[in-house]
Amino acid sequence: MNRLTALVCTLISTASLAADKPNVLVIVADDLGYADLGFQGARDIPTPNLDALAKQGVRCTNGYVSHPFCSPTRAGLMTGRYQQHFGHENNPAWLPGDTKAGLPLSQITLPQLIKKAGYVTGAVGKWHLGAHPQFHPNQRGFDDYFGFRGGGHQYMPGSKASEEYNLPLEFNGQERPFDDYLTNILGREAAGFIERHQSAKWLLYLAFNAPHTPLSAPPELLEKFAHIADEGRRTYAAMVSALDTAVGVVLARLDATRQRENTLVFFISDNGGPNLEARTGKPCFTSNAPLRGYKGQVHDGGIRVPFLVSWPAKLKPGVFEKPVISLDFLPTALAAAGIAPGNPAAAGHAGSLGGGVSTALPQFDGVNLIPYLTGENTGVPHETIFWRANGPGGNYAARMGDWKFVRLGKEQPELYNLAADIGETRNLAAENPGILAKMTAAVAAWDKLNIAPVFDNPKPAATKAKVKGKAQAK
C-alpha cells in the first residue's frame, strides 16, 4: 500500500462497500446562458432531455459555481475547495512545458478519492487544467480519458483553429478519429463508458465544450433554428440543442442498462453566458436574464448557473431554493459512495508526501448536499459563499442568505437583497451599514485563506514564455 492509498483509506467508512452506493455522473456545459434552457425559461431553444432531467431531479434555483470563468471553476469542482486557496485563479495557457500552469499536484482530486472506494473513473471532453503531461487526466485519478486537454476545440472536422483548438482527440494518450460534430462524439463516448462499466460502480466527468465559441453547428441543426433571425443566436441555439441531444444519448444509455435509478447526476454550466457585444459589435447571443452581468463578472450573471441534482433512488423531484455551489459536488459524491470526511486539517496543508501529496487531508469547502435535498437537514448548506476574481485586491463577492455583497477593485462595496432584487439593480449598502460591515468582515477573513494566482491568464503567460524563449535562444 503506497502513501496516497494509505492517506485516502483513512477517509473510507465501514459503509463504503454498501450495495446501494450510486454511480456518479457530473455533466458540465461551457459558457451556457442562465436562461437558455427550457426549464430555465427559454422559449426559442427546446431542450427536452435536460428539461426531463430537471423534472425528475432537484432544481437548485440558487446554484452557483466558484468562479466566473472556465478553468478555476473546474479546479474547484475537482477538489471541493475554493481554488483561490491554492492559487488556481486564472485560465492556464496552452504551454506543454509549463509545470505551474495547471491544477497543482498538491491537490487531491475527486477521482483519486472515489476510486479508493472501488469506483472506476472516467472523464470525457474538455480538460483545461494544465497542458504539461503531469496534469494529464490519467495522472490525476481518471482511469479512462477521452477528449482534448485545452480550453476549447473546433467542432467540425477540417475547420481552421489555433493549435490549442486543433489538438487531436485522444483516448488515454492515443489519438482518436475526429469524424463527426464534436458534441455528438462526446455524447457517444460518455454513453460507451457507461455501457462498458455497467457491472462496476463508476464516476464519469462529462465536460462538454458546447456552447462555448467558436460558434459552429451542422447545417441540419441550423435549419432547425432558421426562424431565429440573429445569426449568432441561431447558431448558438443549434449548439445548445446538440448539447441537449448528447445529454439525452447519455441518459438513454443509463436507462437501457438499468443504471438510471441509482446514478447520482449533477448538471451545471461552468459560468454564466458571455457578452461579446462590446468586442464584436453584434448583439449578445446568450441570455442570463433576469440576472445582472455575464461571464467574467462576480455579479450573478457570471456565477449563478442552471444547477440540477438527480438521484431517483434517493431524491424526490422538486426545487431547492437555498444557496449551493459546485464545490459541493465532491463531498456529496464521496458521501454517497460511503466515504466519510474524517477529521480534515483545520486549514490548508501540513506537509507533503512524495509527488506533492499532502500529509494532512484537505478541508473541503463544499458540503454533502444529500441531507439538505432530502429534507433531513432543514438548515442552510452554507452560511456564506465567496468569490474572488483577478487576484488579491480584485473583484470580490459573497452571498449570505438573501444578501449579496460585491466589491469591484477599489470601488465602493455594493449590497443587494436578491430575494427582492434578483437583477442586482438597487444598491442597499447605505441603508444597511450593519449587514455591509458583517459581510465585509467575512470576505476579509476568507481572503486571508487565499494566495495570489500561481500562473497568469493565457495572453500574459504566452508573452512571458515568448520573451523567455528569446532570451534562452541568445
Q: Write b or e for each residue in 153-171: b if 16 or more Cβ atoms lie within 10 A of its Cβ, otherwise e.
A: bbbeeeeeeeebbebebbe
6 pLDDT higher than 90? no
pLDDT reported for residue 283: 66
396 pLDDT tier (thresholds 50, 70, 90): very high
270 pLDDT higher than 50? yes
Give tens-digit pLDDT for 102-160: 999 999 999 999 998 999 999 999 999 999 999 999 999 999 999 999 999 999 999 98
Please tell me the least confidently modeled range out of 18-32, 88-102, 333-347, 359-373: 333-347
Q: Write b or e for each residue in 123-136: b if 16 or more Cβ atoms lie within 10 A of its Cβ, otherwise e.
A: bbbbbbbbbbeebb
pLDDT reported for residue 233: 95
The residue type at 391:
G
Residue 348 inside a domain? The answer is no
Q: Find, among 9, 23, 30, the residue nearest to 306 by Cα.
A: 30
Q: How many CB atoms are closer than 10 A to CB 447?
A: 14
**205 has which bridge partners?**
26, 123
Q: Find, among 183, 150, 84, 124, the residue nearest to 397 by Cα.
A: 84
Question: Which listed residue (85, 88, 128, 299) is catalytic?
Answer: 128
Neighbour-count burial of 80, counting CB atoms closer than 10 A to its CB (0-12 exposed, 13-18 middle, 19+ buried):
buried
Residue 254 inside a domain? The answer is yes
434 pLDDT tier (thresholds 50, 70, 90): very high
Residue 412 inside a domain? The answer is no
1 pLDDT higher than 60? no
Per the structure, the count of domains in the chain is 1
Residue 86 inside a domain? The answer is yes
Q: How far apart are CA 133 and CA 126, in angstroms?
A: 15
Give the pTM: 0.91
470 pLDDT higher than 80? no
Give tens-digit pLDDT for 220-253: 999 999 999 999 999 999 999 999 999 999 999 9
CATH number of the domain that 318 lies in? 3.40.720.10
pLDDT reported for residue 344: 36
**268 has which bridge partners?**
28, 307
Question: Which listed residue (67, 70, 85, 136) is catalytic?
Answer: 70
Give tens-digit pLDDT for 306-364: 999 999 999 999 999 999 999 999 999 999 999 876 533 222 333 332 333 333 446 89
Check: CB of residue 287 under 8 Å from CB of residue 272.
no
pLDDT reported for residue 58: 98
pLDDT reported for residue 28: 98
As a whole number, mean pLDDT of residues 269-276 equals 92
Residue 274 inside a domain? The answer is yes
Residue 362 inside a domain? The answer is no
What percentage of the chain exceeds 90 in pLDDT?
Answer: 84
What percentage of the chain exceeds 70 in pLDDT?
Answer: 86
**1 has which bridge partners?**
none
pLDDT reported for residue 461: 55
pLDDT reported for residue 449: 97
pLDDT reported for residue 458: 87
pLDDT reported for residue 463: 52
pLDDT reported for residue 22: 98
84 pLDDT higher than 60? yes
The residue type at 115:
K
Give tens-digit pLDDT for 166-199: 999 999 999 999 999 999 999 999 999 999 999 9
Mean pLDDT value across the chain: 90
Provide the residue range defining the domain that includes 261.
3-12+22-336
pLDDT reported for residue 282: 63
> To which residue does cell 457570471 refer?
302
Residue 8 inside a domain? The answer is yes
Query: Is 85 part of the annotated catalytic residue set?
Result: no
Query: Is 70 part of the annotated catalytic residue set?
Result: yes
Residue 428 inside a domain? The answer is no
257 pLDDT tier (thresholds 50, 70, 90): very high
